Amino acid sequence: MDSLKRHRLDDVMGRYKGEKDALLSILHEIQGQENYLSEEIIDYISEKLSIPASQIFGIASYYSAMSTQPRGRHIIKVCDGTSCHLKGGSHLQARLERELKVGEGGTTEDLRFTVEKVRCQGYCHLGPAVKIDDTVHGPITQEKALKLIEEQK
C-alpha cells in the first residue's frame, strides 16, 4: 500500500480516535474515499484497530452501501421494486448491462460505471426509477437512461 493511501486511512481512523466502536463509521468514510474496501485496506484497518479482518470483512460484505470489489466512479442503481418492475425496470437494467457490457452488479472495465439492481428505493411514483450517483431519474426510458450515462463519460 502506498504511503498516500496509508496516510488517508490513518487520517480517517485518527478522527475517530481509533475507537473500535466507530468501525462502521470508519468503514463508511473509507468506502466513500476509496470506492471499495479492498483486502489490503481491511487488513490495514484490522492491524490498526486490533479487530479480526474476518469481522471487518463480514461487516463490509453485509451492508449494501459497502463493497469489497472495485466499483465504478458512477453507481447506477436500477429499481426493481414491484412498481418499477411492472413499469419496465428489469428491461431497463438488461439494456444498460448490454450497452455497458457488464453482468448484473457488474462494473465496466474502465471503472466508470457499476450497474446494480436494487429493491424499492421509495420512488414508486417515478417508476421506472434509476439513481445515478445521488440523483434520481424517473420515470425514465431506456433511451433517456443511455443518454444520461453518455453525459457522464
43-63 confidence digits (pLDDT tens): 999 999 999 999 999 999 998
* pLDDT at position 60: 93
> Can you give the pTM of this predicted structure?
0.76
Q: Are 23 and 53 in contact (CB under 8 A)?
A: no
**Mean pLDDT, residues 22-48 taken together:** 94
DSSP 11-25: HHHHHTTT-GGGHHH
Q: Are 49 and 40 in contact (CB under 8 A)?
A: no
Taking 80 as the threshold, does the pLDDT of residue 153 lie above it? no
pLDDT bracket for residue 105 (50, 70, 90): confident
Query: Cα 65 to chain center, whole Å?
Result: 6
Separation between Cα atoms, residue 9 and residue 31, nearest integer Å:
11
DSSP state of 69: S
